[in-house]
Structure 1
């Protein structure tokens, strides 16, 4: 195998900014900050806007908006009066 081409996998702490949920997984993401965990470990920190803990699809709070027809149907309804 070639040396120097493989990513540097290490434990990284990801923090969901919307609900402050933390989780640690192995990653090769580049970080500038670090965080000290409750168990005394200091790990690189990566901040997320949303994760599976806060995303509406995964939490079950997603709302489906039912459109009344598609684009073609809207066009036909809008210009049906002028065609006659």
Structure 2
């Protein structure tokens, strides 16, 4: 391996899924502004919108985001540009 190409600031970081409040600790170099106390130790906190705890692929849950799919939304958006005649 090449020397001096990897970051030096690896440390334990708490990753928190904001959808279901689940957390896990992993070593990372991610920059954080918040910290959290777990078992008397202080860790940097990184909040995620989605993780394997809430992603539909891993949970098997199906989510519907609206009544129409992407094709219907596209047709509706560009319907006004349809040629007349």
Asked if these proteins are the same fold (TM beyond 0.5), I'd say yes
User: Superposed, which structure 2 residues align to 1:23-62 within 5 Å?
Assistant: 23-37=24-38, 39-62=39-62
**If you compute each CA radius of gyration, which structure gives the higher value, 1 or 2?**
1
Q: Distance in 1 between matches of 2:34 and 2:6?
A: 23
Q: 2:31 and 2:62 mapped to 1: Cα distance?
A: 31
RMSD of aligned alpha carbons: 2.0
Distance 1:52 1:58 in 2: 6
1:61 deviates by: 1.3
Structure 2 counterpart of 1:16: 17
Q: How far has the Cα of 1:42 moved from its partner?
A: 0.3
Show the counterpart of 2:80.
none
Q: Deviations over 1:48-84 (max 9, x none)?
A: 0010000011001136xxxxxxxxxxxxxxxxxxxxx
- Unmatched 5+ stretches in structure 2: 64-85
Summarize deviations over 1:19-38 as a string: whole Å, max 9, x none: 0001000001011110011x
Across the two proteins, how many residue pairs are aligned to each other?
A: 62
- Which segments of structure 1 move beyond 6 Å, counting only runs of 4 or more? none
After TM superposition, the score normalised by the length of structure 1 is 0.66
